[in-house]
Amino acid sequence: MKSLKPLVVSLAILGSSVSSQAVAQANPSTSEEIAALRAELIRMSDRLAELEQELAETKQTANTAIEASAEASAEASALAANVAEDDDLNVKFKAAPEMSDGNGWSFKPRGRINMDFGYVGAPSSTGADSGFDAEARRVRLGASGKIPGGFGYKVEADFGENDLALKDAIITYSDGGLTLTAGQHNTFQGLEELSSSLNTSFIERSAWTDAFGFERRIGVSAQYKTDNVLLQGGVFADDSEDLPNGNNSFDGRVVFAPKSGSTQLHFGGSIHYNNLGDGSTVRYRARPLVHFTDDRFVNTGRFSAESEFGLGLEAAAIAGPFHVALEGFSQSVDRPTGFEDPSFFGASAEVGMFLTQGDRRGYKLGKFDRVKPQSPVGEGGMGALQVNLRYDHLDLNDKDILGGTQDSVQASLIWTLTDYTRLLFNYGLLSYDDAAFPEDDGNTSYDVHVFGVRAQVDF
């Protein structure tokens, strides 16, 4: 933009000249008007000069900002290149984003949702007929990852059942086949108990795993594994919600899992000793297949105890679309002087097969693993269909303890739509003797029918 000041000044001079001549010929009032016009022209000239100066300063500021922006962009690009080169930052997405770098750090959010619906039908005169009900069985959120030096971590909390409960909270160290763990985690009682609830054949595990109080505890443990052998052992206090209470347990497990051709075999045994605090009591009881009812038809009630000692055996095989699993566990209780020491027993046997071609049950050394459909929903397939049958036995009668017996035949249909979504349909016919809820006539031997459905997703 060219300066306007010379033009305005010229006009001012011309005006001044004309006004001078006019003054000589005009009256005094006209002379005053011309003087005022000349003053206004001079003022306009000065204002235009100020505007030109402001415009020049604005241009300089804009140029400076453009240069600074270009420099910042170049620095950001260089920094991003250095991060990618130095730290090898990588983000993978497999149900949830997993971030890792070249220095050994990683982080992955994790979670699951189990929504249960169903029906419990018992003789109406027992007062324990729950009818239809529903429950947010599990709503878990957490994270896991690795730390440089062979360390790892996992933390997970459950928001289901309108409550907040800590589940896993561990720090691990791994070196080859050895893994050391400190924090709240599972002890070592059996194949089904240690298999994730995401991968079980029924919406709830066998009754004896519920009755004998297996749970996560705070402790330290070690495990060592080879291709076919798994050794696990640890020393534990109690669940974080129940501490301090003086309880401490010693738990161990051994697994031998060879392959015979394409058939995966599994053989194992476990041991459990729980030293209870002074004045402690125990109680063994179990729900009827589903968790959304609080009615337990087998229940010892609370009785005094000084310690528990348990032994378990387990065996399984996976051959193509077929699988079979057998487990049993005996729990003995050492009671104070003057009381007899009872022993209780539970066992289960299940068989299952896939109806969809190419699908089979997942297995990872020591536990059942995720089912991965060959043709998942969303990729042109219908997912994996699996049917299962289970016989489940629990005996809580011994010595002077009358907790009842439960024998059940159960069936399940599982539709695994994708690697991370499942629908489960369960039915159970449960037969009781010495049940905790007598009928009007005092009868404690009767049947209960149970139906349950679960919608499941995890990441």
Higher-scoring residue by pLDDT: 184, 23: 184
Rg (CA), the chain: 39
Distance CA 291, CA 301 (A): 19
Q: How confident is the model at residue 193 (pLDDT cuts 50, 70, 90)?
A: very high
Contact 453, 444 (CB under 8 A): no
Confidence check: pLDDT of 24 > 80: no
- Least confidently predicted of 49-58, 185-194, 433-442: 49-58
Confidence check: pLDDT of 13 > 80: no
Q: Which residue has the tokens 């919608």?
A: 455
Confidence check: pLDDT of 382 > 60: yes
Question: Nearest Cα to 438, choosing from 299, 303, 260?
Answer: 299
Instruction: Give the start-to-end residue ranges of the domains of the chain.
Output: 5-86, 122-130+178-458
Average pLDDT, the chain: 89
Q: What average pLDDT does this structure show over 410-415?
A: 98
Q: 266-279 burial string, b = 16+ CB within 10 Å, else e? A: bebebbbebebeee
- Least confidently predicted of 33-37, 165-169, 244-248, 346-350: 33-37
Structure tokens at 282: 């125990």
Q: How confident is the model at residue 14 (pLDDT cuts 50, 70, 90)?
A: very low
Distance CA 83, CA 276 (A): 54
What percent of the chain has pLDDT above 90? Answer: 76
Name the helix (H) or strand (E) containing 75.
Answer: helix 28-87
Residues 300-330 have pLDDT tens digits of 999 999 999 999 999 999 999 999 999 999 9
Q: How confident is the model at residue 133 (pLDDT cuts 50, 70, 90)?
A: very high
Report the pLDDT value the prediction gives residue 42, as an integer from 0 to 100: 78
Q: What average pLDDT does this structure show over 422-438?
A: 98
Confidence check: pLDDT of 282 > 80: yes
Q: How confident is the model at residue 5 (pLDDT cuts 50, 70, 90)?
A: very low
Contact 450, 104 (CB under 8 A): no
Distance CA 221, CA 145 (A): 19
Confidence check: pLDDT of 17 > 50: no
Residues 44-96 have pLDDT tens digits of 777 767 767 776 776 676 576 567 656 766 665 555 555 445 457 899 998 89
Higher-scoring residue by pLDDT: 400, 7: 400
Q: What average pLDDT does this structure show over 2-26?
A: 45
Report the pLDDT value the prediction gives residue 129, as an integer from 0 to 100: 78
Q: 95-104 burial string, b = 16+ CB within 10 Å, else e? A: beebebbeee
Pairing of strands 298-299, 421-433: unpaired
Confidence check: pLDDT of 175 > 80: yes
Q: What average pLDDT does this structure show over 283-297?
A: 97
Q: What average pLDDT does this structure show over 142-161?
A: 96
**Assigned CATH for 122-130+178-458:** 2.40.160.10
Report the pLDDT value the prediction gives residue 209, as an integer from 0 to 100: 96
Q: How confident is the model at residue 39 (pLDDT cuts 50, 70, 90)?
A: confident
Q: How confident is the model at residue 12 (pLDDT cuts 50, 70, 90)?
A: very low
Q: What average pLDDT does this structure show over 370-377?
A: 97
Residue 4 to residues 18, 55, 343, Cα–Cα distance (Å): 21, 13, 109
Report the pLDDT value the prediction gives residue 246, as an integer from 0 to 100: 85
Contact 448, 288 (CB under 8 A): yes
Distance CA 162, CA 24 (A): 103
Distance CA 323, CA 360 (A): 8
Q: How confident is the model at residue 20 (pLDDT cuts 50, 70, 90)?
A: very low
Report the pLDDT value the prediction gives residue 277, as an integer from 0 to 100: 84
